[in-house]
Amino acid sequence: MKILLLTLSFLAVVSCKKENAETIQNNSVTDNVMINKSSEQSNDPMTSIEDIKKEYAAINNLLSAKQLDSTKFTYNCNEKEGEVVLYYENKDLRMVKDSYAEHSHFSSSTKYYVKNNSVFFIFKEETVWNFDEGGTPEKPETKDEINEKRIYILNDKAIQCLEKNYTIRSIGNNKNPDSVPNKETKCDIAELIKNYNLILKNKDRKGEINCL
């Protein structure tokens, strides 16, 4: 009788362990399916401005966390000294930053955000600085006139273009740029995309080159 009870207890323990193992295995399979679905969804094409904003935020989060690899090169073209930095996630290009300055108090920075090898958002900032009223030759005061453009792109076409202008002075109270409203404008992205394609042609160059 004791032997029978021990045998039944042993079988009950084995059965319970088997059920637990199957449950864990099923949960693992479910988790893997969810991960695969999430991975597949990340490659889905964007269809709205909301999709663009989410992808833009995701790339900026990766940049802030320093989770993207990068390469860069510099160029010097007709008094335009620039630097291009390309950011990659698992060898996929995610963002390109093209910055340059000219000797005429002008500088520019353009960021191209990329998904599935297509540009979906462009942020462009141009700055012109001049001497401001007041100050002395020893301690001059300056002001930056800044223009920002935000361009939302779907299927290689701009679907919304926003622009804002504001001034930053070296002396005095300055308005918070975030409080300056954007205005919707018309825009042509042909030159920007042309510049982006020139960058891609030179992306494997090392050191300094001449013009793009």
Average pLDDT over residues 130-135: 80
H-only helix segments in the chain: 2-42, 49-64, 190-201
Phi, psi angles (nearest 5°) of residue 21: -65, -40
**Sign of the C-alpha dihedral, residues 76, 77, 82, 86?**
negative
Average pLDDT taken over every residue of the chain:
83
Mean pLDDT, range 131-150, rounded to an integer: 87
- Is residue 10 over pLDDT 80? no
pLDDT tens for 97-125 read 999 998 778 999 999 999 999 999 999 99
Calpha distance 86→14 (Å, rounded): 57
- The tens digit of pLDDT for each residue in 56-102 reads 999 999 999 999 999 999 999 888 899 999 999 999 999 999 999 98
| pLDDT over 50 (residue 5) | no
Residue 75 to residue 102: CA distance in whole angstroms: 12
CB 170 within 8 A of CB 143: yes
CB 158 within 8 A of CB 187: yes
Neighbouring residues of 127: CB distance < 8 A, sequence distance ≥ 6: 106, 107, 108, 144, 145, 146, 147
- Helix (H) / strand (E) containing 178: none
Q: pLDDT tens across 40-52, in order?
A: 336 788 999 999 9
pLDDT of residue 42: 61
Give the pLDDT mean for 169-197.
Answer: 94
Q: Over range 137-148, report the average pLDDT.
A: 89
- Among 134-148, 164-178, 190-204, the range scoring the smallest mean pLDDT is 134-148
Over residues 14-33, the pLDDT tens digits come to 444 444 444 444 444 444 43
Confidence of residue 182 (pLDDT cuts 50, 70, 90): very high
